[in-house]
Amino acid sequence: MSKDVHEKIKTFILGTATVSAIAGLTGNIVYDYSINRNRKFFFGPALWKNDSMTRGQFLRTDAAEEALLWAEKTEISELNVKAFDGVSLNGYCFIQKKPSNLWVIAVHGYAGMAAEMFPVAKVFYERGYNILLPECRGSGKSGGQCFGMGWLDRNDVLKWTYQIIDRDPDAKIVYYGVSTGADAVMMAAGESLPSNVRCVIEDSGYSDLISLFNHHFERHSIPWYPINLAASLVTRIRAGYSFFEASALNQVAKSKTPIFFIHGGRDREVPSEMVYHLYNATNCVKEILVIPEASHAYAMYVEPEMYWQKVWNFVDHFINNSELEHDYRSRIMGQINKMRGR
């Protein structure tokens, strides 16, 4: 082997090692800042607490304040279950004083806690629903060292679902989620759900994780390629999933459970165009509501009357019996076919 060839091989190996090291370092930085439960910035700890119901990250609006007062006066119980992979999951329940087989599983957003869902819980409770507020893995009192970003949480939602059914075989369940909690319920909808789950309400969910990260890289003028690939690989190694498989688009396309999509027109965290991608990918009964003036997860506060009227119009179609669902499905599909000229 000539000296020139030897130098080229040496340069190639050194270059490859350097690129790999930089990619690994960058991927770990992104992971530690966005996926790691113990959130870090350039390997330094971030000021982020995980003390569940007492953490001071509660949304300060009049409706939220009223919900907090309601929660303080309403009996609440704490639940603990084991996830499919052994992670300890924590949740909270508000049970109706009079027996009811109506249930809602309301899932909080990114790095959040159950208390963030009190405004939703209050509205459903006053409608006669029992409330289950799970805390996602990596959040609150739940175990796990990473955020599931909806993908790992989809199986946890199923676990909670069967806990309810074991307790109440006749339960009629609504899935409701906000932000990454919306992705948890959308992604769960793509699995084989029991007939007890009547419909899904998602508010401000992303379409797929790789597109979400690309959006945030672009927002901060960071070249997303190949950083997204490195971060996805690190997440696969450290958390057990990649950015590419965490896709609500793929899951809603498989769903047989009706889905109501809600989004804010001024959402900068999860761009509003994603809700249209999700809606178009869905093949089951579906509806959509976009509140033009709302930012991320704020639609219910900007237009509360419209928001909840639309939600109840949708939910009430499916909560009573399967015949009503079939009639509604037929009517919606008939309208779609008419628009398509069939």
Q: pLDDT: is 224 or 4 the higher one?
A: 224
pLDDT in tens, 63-88: 778 888 999 999 999 999 999 999 99
Does residue 47 surpass a pLDDT of 60?
Answer: no
Q: What percent of the chain has pLDDT over 90?
A: 70
Does residue 306 surpass a pLDDT of 90?
Answer: yes
Does residue 341 surpass a pLDDT of 60?
Answer: no
Quote the Cα angle for 341-324-311, to 5°: 85
Q: For position 98, what pLDDT does the model report?
A: 96
Give residue 216's Cα distance to chain centre. Answer: 17
pLDDT in tens, 170-197: 999 999 999 999 999 999 999 999 999 9
Closest CA to 154 of 178, 188, 116: 188
Exposed / middle / buried, residue 342 (Cβ in 10 Å: 0-12, 13-18, 19+): exposed
- Specify the amino acid at residue 158: L
Q: What residues does CATH 3.40.50.1820 cover in the chain?
A: 60-208+246-339
Q: For position 242, what pLDDT does the model report?
A: 95
Whole-number Cα distances in Å, 280 to 111, 154, 290: 28, 21, 14
- Specify the amino acid at residue 140: G
Structure tokens at 224: 């997303």
Q: What percent of the chain has pLDDT over 70?
A: 80
Strand 88-94 with 130-135, pairing: antiparallel
pLDDT in tens, 5-27: 445 444 434 433 343 444 456 77
Sequence-distant (6+) residues with CB within 8 A of 27 are 227, 230, 231, 232, 233, 234, 235
Structure tokens at 232: 């996805």
Q: For position 27, what pLDDT does the model report?
A: 79
CB 198 within 8 A of CB 318: yes
pLDDT in tens, 133-172: 999 999 999 999 999 999 999 999 999 999 999 999 999 9
When pLDDT is cut at 50, 70 and 90, the band that residue 132 belongs to is very high
Mean pLDDT for all residues in the chain: 85
| CATH architecture, domain defined by 60-208+246-339 | 3-Layer(aba) Sandwich (3.40)
pLDDT in tens, 257-276: 999 999 999 999 999 999 99
Q: Which helix (H) or strand (E) holds 94?
A: strand 88-94
Phi, psi at 106, each rounded to 5°: -110, 120
- Indicate the DSSP class of residue 136: P
Does residue 1 surpass a pLDDT of 60?
Answer: no
Q: What is the pTM of this model?
A: 0.85
Distance, in Å, from the CA atom of 37 to the CA atom of 309, rounded to the nearest integer, reads 36
When pLDDT is cut at 50, 70 and 90, the band that residue 248 belongs to is very high
The torsion of the CA quartet 165, 108, 233, 225, rounded to 10 degrees, works out to 140
| Mean pLDDT within 35-53 | 55
CB 164 within 8 A of CB 224: no
Phi, psi at 269, each rounded to 5°: -75, -45
| Mean pLDDT within 225-246 | 92
When pLDDT is cut at 50, 70 and 90, the band that residue 221 belongs to is confident
Does residue 339 surpass a pLDDT of 60?
Answer: no
Does residue 49 surpass a pLDDT of 80?
Answer: no
Distance, in Å, from the CA atom of 200 to the CA atom of 28, rounded to the nearest integer, reads 34
Q: pLDDT: is 228 or 331 the higher one?
A: 228
Q: For position 26, what pLDDT does the model report?
A: 79
When pLDDT is cut at 50, 70 and 90, the band that residue 244 belongs to is very high
Distance, in Å, from the CA atom of 262 to the CA atom of 26, rounded to the nearest integer, reads 34
Paired residues of 41 in beta bridges? 44
What does the H/E/C string look like for 150-213? CHHHHHHHHHHHHHHHHHCCCCEEEEEEECHHHHHHHHHHCCCCCCCEEEEEEECCCCEHHHHH
Q: For position 39, what pLDDT does the model report?
A: 67
Closest CA to 189 of 274, 288, 283, 276: 283
| Per-position b or e across 282-315, b if 16+ CB within 10 A of its CB | bebbbbbbbbeebbbbbbbbbbeeebeebbeebb
